[in-house]
Homo-oligomer: A and B are copies of this chain.
Amino acid sequence: MSDYEHILVGVDLTEESKLVAARAVALANAFEARLSCAHVIEPLSLAYGGDIPMDLTTIQEQIQETAKVHLQEFSAQMGIAEENQHLIFGRPETEIDAIAADIGADLIVVGSHGRHGLALILGSTANGVLHGAPCDVLAVRVGLKELS
């Protein structure tokens, strides 16, 4: 069997995510596959090196609440039921691969910005997902204008 049965789309809840999600929805429809989505919140302590001299708990909680609402709105647009929505903390590339393994997804769909700037040197989220993925990975090209 070469049809996909359970597709996981990773979204960062930006406008570009809609393009990525649209591809995932098209694939899920084409293969009559189950569709799940995941949004990963990178903890501020990770993003800033764990060295911020203030209590971040309140800010972190606000970020989580906002993200939760946005993910629900986003998922509603894609027709994804609440049990198929995943909101988690951590490094996006690691967590998306972990969820994929957890839910038994056979395809991960993520956005990719292509070759530009720091992403080329540090490796993009799409690259990270690709390296550790337990299944196929579709990188949806977004922000092509930046490629020049």
**Residues of A participating in the B interface, judged by any CB pair closer than 8 Å:** 2-3, 22-23, 25-27, 30-31, 112, 114-115, 120, 126-127, 130-141, 144
Contacts and interface: CB of A to CB of B under 8 A. Distances in A.
Contacts of A135: 141
A137 B141 CA distance: 8
Contact of A127 (B22, B26, B130): B130
Contacts of A127: 127, 130
Contact of A130 (B2, B112, B132): B112
B141 A139 contact: no
24 contacts: A2-B22, A2-B23, A2-B25, A2-B26, A3-B26, A3-B30, A26-B31, A27-B30, A30-B30, A112-B130, A114-B130, A114-B131, A114-B133, A120-B131, A127-B127, A127-B130, A133-B139, A135-B141, A136-B140, A136-B141, A137-B138, A137-B139, A138-B139, A139-B139
A130 B131 contact: no
Nearest to A116: B131
Given A2-B26, A130-B139, A137-B141, 15 more contacts: A2-B22, A3-B30, A30-B30, A30-B31, A112-B137, A115-B131, A115-B132, A126-B130, A130-B130, A135-B141, A136-B138, A136-B139, A136-B141, A137-B139, A138-B138
